[in-house]
């Protein structure tokens, strides 16, 4: 028997994004849950981080369609990033497409600390990245407001070139005896020193946690201001580095984008995870070890199963084609034939003649509509989404749009992305030892 005592030790943090015209106010709260496990259990008791997005609405100076346009173009940049990951066949830098020029906004933040004594940091959470990184002193081109002060942490150490982990980061180089790497993220390119120090997360301490210490932003300016925590499945991610404690198992619940509080939670470790949850196998892709691939086998709109050419859904490790779950994209992207079939059946069922386009969405209506449910079929798991997960509404006026889109035209990667809007108010479980991904409905909107 287990007793769980939620501890109300929430730390709230308000972070005003640097760019005033995208002034999302993101609030992250950290809550640790203490579990009194029975003595027979040697499992880590589990930890929960909760994440609150203070403001789901758009910046007042933008119209709704401008706002949707901006989100869509951010998503397009994100998509290019994911598909470059997906098609890359070597550890060399992948080409950066022009879509990367857009600002990439981190949607979710978590509060952690690095160093001894601990220095608090608010990092963007990203399930499609591995190694963490933070701005370090004398970084050129980093946001001036913030850095992790390495001089104040005696446990901080740069990694030497001979360390095997130096071969697991993108574009590693050796300068003197120390390891550096170059990476691109959301339109920016940066150079960082591979380093280690203690990570404090959800009440746990991980000594010698490996991360990048930013020393130069080579181009672009859209990096999350305090850095990023990677939760991908590849080497040096949180998932990999905390494996002995959290057993490469975590789950998250993304809150509704309609909620002003936009709250959610990240739960680390196998304890406290949903047991009766529908799951589908995770598909490892050795060519692109970061991403969480699953086998999407079909799509149902209402009761009709769509005729989608099988190759639009087939997992191909060599090309990167297939379907991934991603928390950093806002609206799902489907390869063109799959999206065309979905859109056609959706429009047929809605049966309102006047269909318009708004900011990258091509299936919008004036006034309330009765939308069919959309079911994504995965190997062993069906996920049925109602209007909350399929429609985006204007905050004023009556415009409503199907909240998905086709993959950008200029990318031919065959990648389908199941994105945040379609995951909201669901718990998504990643269980790497069990090689499975689970989805269960769970309202987590405050």
Ligand X SMILES: *[C@@H]1O[C@H](CO)[C@@H](O)[C@H](O)[C@H]1NC(C)=O
Is the omega angle on the peptide bond into residue 117 within 30 degrees of 0, that is, cis? Answer: yes
The Cα–Cα gap between 119 and 179 comes to 23
Joined tokens for residue 433: 């030892």
Q: For residue 84, give the H/E element and its range.
A: helix 64-87
> To 5 degrees, how large is the angle CA 106–CA 108–CA 113?
100
Annotation says 326 is catalytic: yes
Joined tokens for residue 70: 């901006």
The Cα–Cα gap between 41 and 23 comes to 46
Smallest gap from Cβ 297 to ligand X, in A, equals 5
- Residues whose CB is less than 8 angstroms from the CB of residue 162 and which lie 6 or more positions away in sequence, other chains included: none
First-to-last alpha carbon distance for the chain, in angstroms, is 29
- Residues whose CB is less than 8 angstroms from the CB of residue 201 and which lie 6 or more positions away in sequence, other chains included: 47, 49, 110, 112, 113, 238, 242, 268
Q: Considering beta carbons, is residue 116 or 373 the nearer one to ligand X?
A: 373
Q: Nearest-CA neighbor of 296 among 338, 234, 252, 345?
A: 338
Q: Which residues bind ligand X (CB under 6 A)?
A: 93, 171, 173, 182, 191, 216, 218, 259-261, 283, 295, 297, 300, 305, 315, 354, 356, 366, 372-373, 377, 379-382, 384, 386, 446
For the stretch 156-165, contacts whose Cβ atoms lie closer than 8 Å and that sit 24 or more positions apart, written own/partner, are: 156/115, 156/195, 156/196, 156/197, 157/195, 157/196, 157/197, 157/208, 158/193, 158/194, 158/195, 158/213, 159/193, 159/194, 159/195, 159/196, 159/210, 163/194, 165/194, 165/210, 165/235, 165/236
Smallest gap from Cβ 236 to ligand X, in A, equals 17
User: Is residue 115 helix, strand or coil?
Assistant: coil
**Active-site position among 75, 126, 197, 431:** 126
Annotation says 126 is catalytic: yes
Q: For residue 338, give the H/E element and its range.
A: helix 336-350
| Residues designated catalytic | 126, 326
């Amino acid at each position: 028997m287990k007793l769980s005592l939620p501890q109300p030790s929430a730390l709230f943090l308000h972070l005003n994004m640097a760019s005033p015209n995208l002034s999302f106010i993101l609030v992250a709260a950290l809550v640790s849950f203490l579990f009194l496990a029975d003595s027979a259990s040697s499992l880590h008791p589990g930890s929960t981080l909760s994440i609150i997005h203070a403001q789901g609405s758009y910046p007042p100076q933008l119209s709704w369609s401008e706002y949707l346009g901006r989100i869509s173009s951010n998503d397009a940049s994100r998509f290019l990033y994911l598909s470059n990951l997906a098609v890359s066949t070597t550890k060399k830098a992948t080409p950066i497409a022009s879509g990367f020029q857009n600002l990439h906004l981190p949607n979710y933040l978590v509060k952690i600390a690095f160093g001894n004594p601990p220095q608090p940091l608010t990092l963007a959470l990203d399930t499609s990245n591995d190694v963490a990184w933070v701005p370090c002193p004398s970084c050129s081109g980093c946001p001036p407001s913030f850095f992790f002060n390495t001089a104040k942490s005696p446990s901080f150490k740069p990694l030497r070139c001979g360390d095997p982990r130096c071969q697991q980061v993108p574009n590693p180089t050796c300068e003197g005896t120390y390891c550096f790497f170059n990476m691109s993220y959301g339109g920016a390119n940066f150079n960082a020193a591979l380093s280690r120090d203690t990570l404090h997360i959800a009440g746990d301490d991980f000594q010698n946690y490996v991360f990048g210490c930013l020393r130069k932003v080579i181009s672009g300016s859209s990096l999350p201001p305090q850095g990023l925590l990677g939760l991908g499945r590849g080497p040096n991610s949180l998932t990999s580095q905390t494996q002995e404690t959290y057993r490469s198992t975590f789950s998250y619940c993304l809150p509704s984008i309609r909620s002003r509080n936009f709250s959610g939670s990240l739960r680390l470790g196998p304890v406290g995870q949903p047991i009766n949850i529908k799951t589908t196998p995770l598909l490892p892709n050795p060519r692109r070890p970061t991403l969480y691939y699953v086998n999407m086998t079909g799509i149902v709109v209402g009761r009709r199963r769509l005729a989608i050419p099988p190759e639009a859904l087939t997992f191909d490790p060599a090309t990167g084609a297939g379907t991934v779950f991603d928390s950093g994209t806002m609206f799902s992207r489907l390869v063109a034939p799959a999206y065309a079939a979905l859109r056609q059946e959706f429009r047929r069922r809605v049966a309102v003649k006047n269909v318009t386009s708004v900011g990258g969405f091509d299936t919008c209506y004036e006034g309330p509509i009765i939308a069919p449910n959309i079911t994504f079929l995965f190997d062993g798991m069906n996920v049925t989404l109602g209007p909350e997960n399929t429609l985006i509404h204007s905050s004023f006026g009556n415009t409503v749009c199907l909240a998905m889109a086709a993959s950008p035209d200029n990318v031919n990667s065959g990648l389908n992305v199941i994105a945040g809007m379609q995951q909201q108010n669901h718990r998504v479980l990643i269980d790497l030892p069990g090689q499975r991904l689970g989805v269960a409905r769970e309202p987590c909107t405050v």
